Amino acid sequence: MRILFLGDLVGRVGRTAVIEQLPELVESNQLDFVIVNGENAASGFGITETILQDVLDAGADVVTTGNHVWDQRDTLVYIERQDRLLRPVNYPSGTPGRGAHLFTARNGARVMVANVMGRVYMDALDDPFAAIDNVINGCPLGDVADAIIVDMHAEATSEKQAMGHFLDGRVSLVVGTHTHVPTADHQILENGTAYMSDAGMCGAYDSVLGMDKEEPVNRFQRKIPSSRFTPATGDPTICGVAIETDDRTGLAERVAPLRIGGRLEPVFPSFWPNGV
């Protein structure tokens, strides 16, 4: 099975690039399943229901989030009727929405997607390891699920790496989000789980994490805010990670980063039909 995960959408630049280019990526590369982290899609803070539907209509099968999931207050309401929008599974019991769900891919395969948030330098939610362990135990790979993708939304790379090794051999992919900078550590771990510390973002990389540079630089220098953070409007770059899984085990056979457009060096999975 061929699966694509795209990093955090940031503002109009990021969401427009994905909405315009994802349909062709899906068709030309025969993608079976697509996950997009959309928590910064609405002016950099949260995601509206309209934007969510636009991303789904473009070819995303699931949209994950993170610490900005509730920045658009309407999300507390509409997330209950949008089962393809996930919030971190380790929010306390009773929080609206869901953190994991079993979906059907284009090829008919069963794909479990789980969204979990770290606790190091983040809001202190419930234990992410216990929460994800409960999800996986209830939907084991190769039995109930043909593939399992975990979006680990966290600040610390050590916490993300620990989650990767904790789930090694039990899921298809553990991919980090939140820091918006694509890492070069994509790999298949010892027991067959693909891993990448951060998928990067979909947005303008001539920026500070997708935001216009002036205000973040000002705050680092003066420690005094002078205006709101606003998403940058430069050339868009789409960043993510692609995997191919074994149809029998659900574990990863290949993993590679994806980078399209902007100032970063373009990278395309060589195992895709139009790969280089």
**Look-up: residue for tokens 């039909």?**
273
Beta bridge partners of 63: 36, 85
- β strands within the chain, DSSP E: 2-6, 8-9, 33-37, 62-64, 100-104, 110-117, 147-153, 173-177, 187-188, 194-196, 201-204, 236-245, 252-260
SS3 89: coil
Catalytic annotation present for 68: yes
Beta bridge partners of 242: 4, 256
**Look-up: residue for tokens 């769900």?**
101
Element (H, E) at 54: helix 49-58
Catalytic residue among 68, 101, 153, 178: 68
Distance CA 273, CA 276 (A): 9
Alpha-carbon distance values, 54 to 18, 23, 195, 257 (Å): 10, 12, 28, 24
The residues annotated with a catalytic role in the active site are 68
